[in-house]
């Protein structure tokens, strides 16, 4: 199938804003986020192949509605990209119940809702592709002020792997991919709960466009686990090798 129907959540800014116009060069794109004006501005760059659907994907009912409306419009869905996330600036010893509830709702439950709500449609077709956008902090928890975010992304990684294993036992045509960017030049830091450093001020950051290129490639390759920077996998292996020890 040359043209796919691709849903991009978190499409109003950051990685999603960069991804939607890029994907629209080959595919129809459903742009999902809470801010209509921002979504319409992104859709204007999608070569007439971007449909705006205003929704809060941290609410299951909104996710279900996006699935239903998109299928009604296009007749099918091919790719669902869970790209919503939010940071938090708080040391682990200072985390509150409200901090954890909010960060899990946005970073984990939004992805779970997307996976679960699109799954019956994908099972009915015998094929489909879910892409979960995680973070290098979901591999290496080395940012103290991002403690809860690290935990949420570790949870998302485990959820992605186990979801993939479950579904592919009966529906091998359905793929669930994980993409792990590092620091990205976006408003992520400025929009973090309790404030935080501007991600653009940090060294070693990628542009949102560079990360979007990798995600667009995953749509085509359907690779299960992808990093957005060369050498990232080696960093993960080195980290766990340095802290691990064999039984004596």
Task: Please give the Cα distance from 94 to 112 (Å, whole number).
Answer: 27
The rounded distance, in Å, linking the Cα atoms of 207 and 161 is 27
* Positions marked active-site: 149
Range of the domain at 57: 5-243
- Nearest CA-CA partner of 53 in 71, 41, 65: 65
What value does the mean pLDDT of the chain take? Answer: 95
Q: Where are the alpha helices (DSSP H) in the chain?
A: 14-23, 36-43, 60-74, 97-104, 110-125, 147-170, 208-221, 232-243
Asked if the model's pLDDT at residue 138 lies above 80, the reply is yes
pLDDT band at 197 (very low <50, low <70, confident <90, very high): confident
Is 160 among the domain residues?
A: yes
Question: For residue 41, is it within any domain?
Answer: yes
User: For 118, what's the count of Cα atoms within 13 Å in the CB-facing half-sphere?
Assistant: 33
Average pLDDT over residues 16-41: 97
DSSP, collapsed to helix, strand or coil, labels residue 124 as helix
Strand partners, 32: 9, 53
**Per-residue pLDDT at 1 exceeds 60:** no
pLDDT digit string, tens, across residues 49-106: 999 999 999 999 999 999 999 999 999 999 999 999 999 999 999 999 999 999 999 9
Where residue 232 falls among pLDDT bands split at 50, 70, 90?
Answer: very high
In a domain? residue 159? yes
CATH number of the domain that residue 157 is part of: 3.40.50.720
What is the distance between the alpha carbons of residues 76 and 147, in angstroms, rounded to a whole number?
39
pLDDT at residue 231, rounded to an integer: 94
Residue 248 within any structural domain of the chain: no
Q: What is the pLDDT of residues 91-136, one digit of tens each?
A: 999 999 999 999 999 999 999 999 999 999 999 999 999 999 999 9
Asked if residue 77 belongs to a domain, the reply is yes
- List the one residue out of 56, 80, 85 whose CA is nearest residue 67: 80
- Count of CB atoms situated within 10 Å of the CB of 68: 12
Distance CA 247, CA 26 (A): 52
Q: What angle do CA 187, 40, 83 make, to 5 degrees?
A: 45
Dihedral sign computed on CA atoms, order 110, 125, 180, 139:
positive
Of the CA atoms within 13 Å of residue 241, those in its CB half-sphere come to 6
| Predicted confidence band of residue 34 (pLDDT cuts 50, 70, 90) | very high
Do the domain assignments include residue 88?
Answer: yes
131 falls within a domain: yes
Number of domains in the chain: 1
């Amino acid at each position: 199938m040359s043209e796919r129907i691709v849903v991009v959540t978190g499409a109003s800014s950051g990685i999603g804003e960069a991804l939607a116009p890029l994907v629209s060069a080959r595919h129809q794109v459903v742009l999902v986020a809470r801010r209509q004006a921002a979504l319409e501005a992104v859709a204007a760059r999608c070569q007439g192949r971007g449909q705006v659907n205003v929704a809060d994907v941290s609410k299951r009912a909104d996710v279900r509605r996006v699935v239903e409306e998109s299928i009604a419009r296009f007749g099918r869905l091919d790719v669902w990209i869970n790209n919503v996330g939010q940071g938090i600036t708080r040391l682990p010893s200072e985390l509150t119940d409200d901090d954890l509830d909010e960060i899990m709702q946005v970073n984990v439950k939004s992805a779970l809702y997307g996976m679960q709500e699109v799954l019956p449609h994908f099972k009915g077709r015998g094929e489909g592709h879910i892409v979960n956008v995680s973070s290098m902090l979901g591999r290496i928890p080395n940012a103290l002020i991002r403690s809860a975010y690290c935990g949420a992304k570790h949870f998302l990684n485990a959820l992605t792997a186990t979801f993939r294993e479950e579904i592919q036992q009966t529906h091998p045509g359905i793929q669930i991919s994980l993409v792990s960017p590092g620091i990205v030049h976006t408003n992520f830091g400025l929009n973090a709960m309790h404030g935080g450093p501007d991600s653009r001020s940090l060294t070693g950051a990628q542009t949102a466009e560079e990360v979007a290129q990798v995600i667009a490639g995953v749509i085509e390759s359907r690779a299960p686990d992808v990093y957005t920077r060369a050498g990232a996998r080696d960093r993960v292996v080195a980290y766990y090798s340095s802290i691990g020890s064999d039984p004596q």
